[in-house]
Amino acid sequence: MTPSIQLGLVAGDGIGPEIVPAAARVLEAAATDLFTIDWHPLPIGHEAIERYGVAVPAETLAALDRLDGWILGPHDSASYPAQLAAAVPPAGAIRKHFDLFANIRPARAWPGTDPIAPRADLVIVRENTEGLYADRNMFAGSGEFMPTPDVALAVGVITRAGSERIAREAFRLAEQRRRHVTIVHKANVLTMTTGLFRDVCLEVAGDYPDVTVSEQFVDAAAAHLVRDASIFDVIVTENLFGDILSDLAAELAGSLGIAASLNCSATRAMAQAAHGAAPDIAGTDTANPTALILSVAMLLRWLQGRHTSPVFGEAAGRTEDAIGAVIASPIRTRDLGGTASTTAFTDAVIERIIGTSSRRRERGSTRS
């Protein structure tokens, strides 16, 4: 019996209505003869504001809760009406509502992208619910406030529970890769907060004896990424450090336009590219859909673990192979030095998937 999954399709703002359908088209092609997809289009951002008066309607959250996973486009909250622009942005609201505590951000140099760090192949495992992020580190209200017009304060939150669960994600991932975790912190200055994060990660390391563990201050880690990104396998760090280092690593590996990202917990997962809404090029058919397509491949691998079915991993492999082949060809989007439109690039990826799948079936038929 062919498996079937239900996925949310949340276009969002800016280039979202272009790259989200592109990613869905690629997934449909990769899923051919493996599984079927029941799509659930849902609004956030400007579309939701027009229909519901809020950027993240309760109806959207309720619908997402019933699905196997979802694909989220970027948001442009700076362009919302003033009272909504000051609220928690849509992606943050969704992450907080579903407690998507792990943000997994790979940085891999793909041939054809002219990377600064051509040997980069690492993953940053970013804690997604605590740290200095005012929109997600408090039960109610904001962790950032101003007691007077001339003084601004921020509360940084690090907990043992939050540190332990992100550490376990990092060590489990390292077991599937090159078995090396680097704990990044600033415990020489933030001794209690990032010191607790470091200490808990080191405690968790004891449960993974086959994984080598090291630690670095965040400033040193940034310098070492620039000098030689290939020395890193899995980096685990707190929220703010992870956000900054993952953007740096993405640019070193080629471009934010190829920076995939998965937000997940043990029971929920959301494919969301690391880049923003790029409203300046919205509607021009020039956006690079690669980051979101690769984020969807990450979602498929998460689903493989969740459903213990190899078909999702096979579809992820088809997607990644096709992306690699097209990027290495002259068919590249403008940000990667090419001239291909969003549509043309997506078409090329789909053609590659279909052609490769057809050749596999032909070889199988010949052998039988």
What string of DSSP letters covers 26-48? HHHHHHTTT-EEEEEE---HHHH
Phi-psi region of 222 (alpha: psi -120 to 50; beta: other; left: phi over 0): alpha
Q: Compute the C-alpha angle 198/202/208, nearest 5°.
A: 145
Task: Kindly indicate whether the domain formed by 116-253 is annotated with CATH number 3.40.718.10.
Answer: yes
Between CA 202 and CA 213 the distance in angstroms is 8
Quick one: pLDDT at residue 329? 93
Phi, psi of 87 (to 5 degrees): -80, 175
Quick one: pLDDT at residue 367? 52
* Inter-residue contact 195 to 187 (CB < 8 Å): yes
Active site (annotated) includes residue 99: no
Q: Which of these is catalytic: 68, 186, 233, 335?
A: 186
Between CA 20 and CA 261 the distance in angstroms is 14
Quick one: pLDDT at residue 217? 98
Between CA 351 and CA 323 the distance in angstroms is 11
Quick one: pLDDT at residue 160? 97
Active site (annotated) includes residue 76: no
CA distances from 301 to 39, 151, 216, 264, 293 (A): 18, 46, 29, 12, 13
pTM of the full structure: 0.92
Instruction: Provide the 10 A C-beta neighbour count for residue 162.
Output: 22
Q: Which of these is catalytic: 13, 68, 133, 208?
A: 133
Q: pLDDT tens string for the chain (368 positions)?
A: 788 999 999 999 999 999 999 999 999 999 999 999 999 999 999 999 999 999 999 999 999 999 999 999 999 999 999 989 888 889 989 999 999 999 999 999 998 888 999 999 999 999 999 998 877 778 887 888 999 999 999 999 999 999 999 999 999 999 999 999 999 999 999 999 999 999 999 999 999 999 999 999 999 999 999 999 999 999 999 999 999 999 999 999 998 899 999 999 999 999 999 999 999 999 999 999 999 999 999 999 999 998 888 999 999 999 999 999 999 999 999 998 899 999 999 999 999 999 976 656 565 545 55
Quick one: pLDDT at residue 366? 52
Q: Which of these is catalytic: 99, 121, 199, 247?
A: 247
Active site (annotated) includes residue 133: yes
Tokens of 70: 């979802």
Active site (annotated) includes residue 247: yes
Active site (annotated) includes residue 243: yes
Quick one: pLDDT at residue 308? 81
Quick one: pLDDT at residue 154? 92
